[in-house]
Structure 1
C-alpha cells in the first residue's frame, strides 16, 4: 500500500483537461493541444493524484506490456510538491501488474533525476547507444 498525506488520493487514469492545463506550459510540451493529450492518455497507462476533487499530479507509461516501458508526463502542481506525490505515482506504476517482467524502462528529464533515483532509476550505462528522432515544432 502506498501512503499519501491526508486529503490526497491516488487514482488510475487521468483527466485530460487538468493534464493539458499543466502540460501546455511545461518545458517538454509547450503549446500542446488538448486533443494530443486526450490521445496520449487513451493510449497509456496513467495514474493521478487528487486533492479536494482536483487532479494535482499525473504520470503516464507507454508500453508494449511485454519488454519495454516509457515513463512520460510526470508532474506535480507546484503547490503540492515536496509531499512525496511523484514518488507515490512512480511506486504505483512500477508495481502495476501489467508492467511486471519488462526488460527496460526509460524516461527523459531535465531536472528531476533525484526524484527518479529514489525509486531505482539510474543514468544510462551507454548513452552513446541512444538515438532520437525529434520534431521540436510538432505542437506549434
Structure 2
C-alpha cells in the first residue's frame, strides 16, 4: 500500500480499507455534478471495483479528498470521481491527489489515462492531460436512462 505524507502533514493513501464510504457517498450524491443522487450501494460497489486514492487531514486523519481509477493495470485507466471537500480546497490537495494517481499508474506501465470534466480543464492541463486529438473516434453506450 502507498502512503505519502506531505510537509504540512496531509497524508495520501491508496488503501481501500481507509475509505470513508459514507463521506464519499455524501460528496458524490449531493455535491458533485456528475453523480447526483447516486445511491450508497452503487458508490460502495464502484469503490470496491476500482483503485482508490484518498487524502487525510493531518490533525484528525479525517478523509478530505477522494479519487478512483478504473483500470486494467497495464494499458488503460479512467480517472473519475475526483473530489476535494469544500473546506479543504485551495491547498493543492486535488493536484497532489491526481498527480500521485498519474505517477502510480505510470509506474505500473499504464500509458493512457482518460478523464472527463466540465470545469477543471486548467487543473488537469497543468498535470499533462489534454483534449482528445481525435474525439470522433470515441463512442459510448449510455444506458443510464433505461434503468
TM-score, length-normalised on structure 2? 0.84
CA deviation after TM superposition for structure 1 residue 2, in Å: 6.3
Is 2:29 aligned against 1:24? yes
Q: Which residue, 98, 103, 114 being the options, matches 1:95?
A: 103
CA deviation after TM superposition for structure 1 residue 119, in Å: 1.2
* 1:98-113 pair list within 5 angstroms: 100-113=108-121
Of the two structures, which has the highest relative contact order with CA contacts closer than 8 Å and spacing of 6 or more? 1
CA deviation after TM superposition for structure 1 residue 41, in Å: 0.7
Runs of 4+ in 1 over 3 A off after TM superposition: 1-5, 135-138
Uncovered stretches (5+) of structure 1, i.e. residues with no partner: none
CA deviation after TM superposition for structure 1 residue 102, in Å: 2.0
TM-score, length-normalised on structure 1? 0.88
Out of 58-67 and 12-21, give the one that drifted further: 12-21
Greater helix share, 1 or 2?
Answer: 2
